[in-house]
Amino acid sequence: MAIEKILAIVIVGIAYYFIIFGKKHKAPIIFGLSLLVAVLKLVEGLEPYNISKVVDLNTLGLLAGMMIIVEFLRKTGVFQFLAIKIVKIGGKHFFWTITGLMVLVAIASAFLDNLVTIILIAPMIFLITDTLGLNPIPFLMLTIVIDNIGGMSTLIGSPLNLVLGSVSGLSFNDFIVNMGLISIISFVVVIILFKRYMKVDENVLKKLEQLSTVDERSAIIDRKSMKFSVTVFVGVIIFFALHSILNVELSFIALLGAIVIMLYHKKDFADISHEIDWDTLFFYAGLYILSYALEEVGVTQSLANIFTTFGHSKILYSFVIFWFVSFAIPWLSAVPGTLIIAPMIRLLVNSGFSSKLWWVYGVSANLATNLTPLGAVQNIVGMNLLSKQIGRDFSFGEYMKWAWKPYLITSLLGFVYSLLVVTRGG
C-alpha cells in the first residue's frame, strides 16, 4: 500500500478518535484534518473546483435553511404553547399527559432538529416532575428515546437520515413510506415500556391540576410572528413532499423558506449568523471529505467485500448488516458512522444486492443511536441537562442502564420489519 494511502487512513483514524473521545473543538479539528488530506494530496479529487462533488452542498444547505426557520419558530414560543396545551388537555390523566407530550416530541423531531427538540421539551419535563415531586430521570430518558424514534421517520428528521439520503439518493417521501410505520410501532412499544413510571397517587394528581391552570397563551411571545413562521414552515414541509415531482432540491426549498422568514422579520444575514450552527456545518463538511478519502484509498470497498462473502441470501446478509450496524453506530456516532458505512451499502447495492438494504441500514442505525450517549449529539445534551437537574453526574453507565431495554426491544422489532421489507423484493 502506498504511503499516501496509509497516511490518509491514519488521519481518518485520528479524526474518529476525536469524534468518539474528544470533548471540545471537534468541528475545527475534524475539518482541519480533512483539509490536511486535501493539502497533502493524499487522494485525488479534492481540488477546490471538484469539492462540490465530494461535500454534499445540498445537505449543508438544507441544514442551514432549517436552522434559520426553526430558530425563528423557537423565538415565537409556539412549542411551549403546545406543551402547556397538552398538559391542560391531559388533566388528571397523567399517562395521557406524558403520552401527549411524547407525541409532540415525535412530531417535532420528525421535522425539526433532534437537538432543538430536546432543548425545547426538557424544561417542560423538568417543570412537570418538579411540580409533582417525581424523579425526572425516566421521563427525560423517555424523551431522548422518543426524540430519536420520531426523527427516524423522515429525511429531515435526523442528521443520520440527511446523510443517508445524500449518499443513497432516496427522496423525502421514500423515508416516510419506508420508515414511518416502524417509527410508529417503536413509539408505542417504548411508551408501554415506560408506562410503569407513569403511575402516580392522588396527591400527585392534585398537583397536576395546578399545572392545568397555566394559561398557554402566555407562552406566545409574538403572535403575528408565530402565525407567519408556522405558515412558512408548513409550506416548506409541503414542498419537501413534492420536491421529487417539482424536481427542486430540498436545500433550495429550505433556504427560500428561510429567506422569506428573514425578509418578513427585516433581518439580514449578519443579524441571523449567530442562529446558524456553524460547527455542525463544518463538522459535516469535514466528514464528507474524510469519507471520500476512505472510499478513494479502498477501505470502503474492502468492507463491502467482507459482506459479499455472505452471498445474495437476503435474510443472511440483512441479518449480518443489521446487527453489525446496530452494534457499531452507538460507538461511532450517527453521522460519522453513516459516512463510513453508507458508502459501503452503496457499493453493495450497485453490485447487485437488494436496494432495500438502505432501509435495513436506516432502521438499524436510527434505533441504535439510543443505546449510548455517543449515539447522537442530542443524547449527550440530554444527559448533561439531566445532570444539572438532579444535581449530580448522570453517568455513561447509568444512561445505558436506562437505554438498553428500549434499544434491544425496538431493534428486534426493527430487524423483523427490515426482513419483511427486504423479502418484498427490490
Q: What is the pLDDT of residues 141-166, one digit of tens each?
A: 999 999 999 999 999 888 899 889 98
Share of the chain above pLDDT 90, in %: 37
Mean pLDDT of the chain: 87
At residue 29, the pLDDT reads 93
Q: What digits encode the pLDDT tens for the residues 290-326?
A: 988 988 888 888 888 888 877 678 888 899 999 999 9
At residue 193, the pLDDT reads 93
At residue 425, the pLDDT reads 56
191's grid cell = 411508551
Query: With 80 as the cut, is the pLDDT of residue 204 above it?
Result: no
Rounded mean pLDDT, 123-128: 82
| C-beta atoms surrounding 237 within 10 Å | 16
| C-beta atoms surrounding 331 within 10 Å | 13
At residue 361, the pLDDT reads 96
Share of the chain above pLDDT 70, in %: 96
Give the 3-state secondary structure of residue 410: helix
Distance between CA atoms of residues 110 and 301, nearest Å: 33
Q: Tell me whether residue 17 is exposed, middle or buried, using C-beta atoms within 10 angstroms of its C-beta: 0 to 12, 13 to 18, 19 or more.
A: exposed
Among 248, 74, 279, 247, smallest CA distance to 159 is for: 279
Largest Cα–Cα distance in the chain?
A: 72
Query: With 90 as the cut, is the pLDDT of residue 403 above it?
Result: yes
Give the highest mean pLDDT range of 327-331, 333-337, 420-424. 327-331
Query: With 60 as the cut, is the pLDDT of residue 426 above it?
Result: no
If pLDDT is split at 50, 70 and 90, which confidence band does 1 have? low
Lowest mean pLDDT among 83-92, 157-166, 274-283, 333-342: 83-92
Q: Tell me whether residue 36 is exposed, middle or buried, using C-beta atoms within 10 angstroms of its C-beta: 0 to 12, 13 to 18, 19 or more.
A: middle
The answer to whether 20 and 214 have CB atoms below 8 angstroms apart is no
Question: What pTM, to 2 d.p., does this model score?
Answer: 0.82
At residue 187, the pLDDT reads 97
If pLDDT is split at 50, 70 and 90, which confidence band does 217 have? confident
| C-beta atoms surrounding 60 within 10 Å | 19
| Burial readout 242-276 (b: 16 or more C-beta within 10 A, e: otherwise) | ebeeeeeebbbbbbbbbebbbeeeeeeeeebeebb
Q: What digits encode the pLDDT tens for the residues 388-397?
A: 888 888 888 8
At residue 396, the pLDDT reads 85
Comparing 111 with 185, the larger pLDDT belongs to: 185
At residue 368, the pLDDT reads 96
The answer to whether 393 and 383 have CB atoms below 8 angstroms apart is no
Rounded mean pLDDT, 189-193: 95
Distance between CA atoms of residues 385 and 7, nearest Å: 39
Q: What digits encode the pLDDT tens for the residues 11-40?
A: 989 988 888 787 788 889 999 999 999 999
Rounded mean pLDDT, 220-232: 89
Comparing 226 with 414, the larger pLDDT belongs to: 414
Q: What digits encode the pLDDT tens for the residues 333-390?
A: 888 889 889 999 999 999 888 899 999 999 999 999 999 988 988 898 888 888 888 8
Comparing 150 with 277, the larger pLDDT belongs to: 150
Please provide residue 157's backbone torsions phi and psi, each rounded to the nearest 5 degrees: -75, -25
Query: With 70 as the cut, is the pLDDT of residue 64 above it?
Result: yes
If pLDDT is split at 50, 70 and 90, which confidence band does 177 have? very high
In sequence order, what are the residues at sequence separation of 6 or more whose Cβ sits closer than 8 angstroms to the Cβ of residue 167?
Answer: 338, 339, 342, 343, 345, 346
At residue 369, the pLDDT reads 95
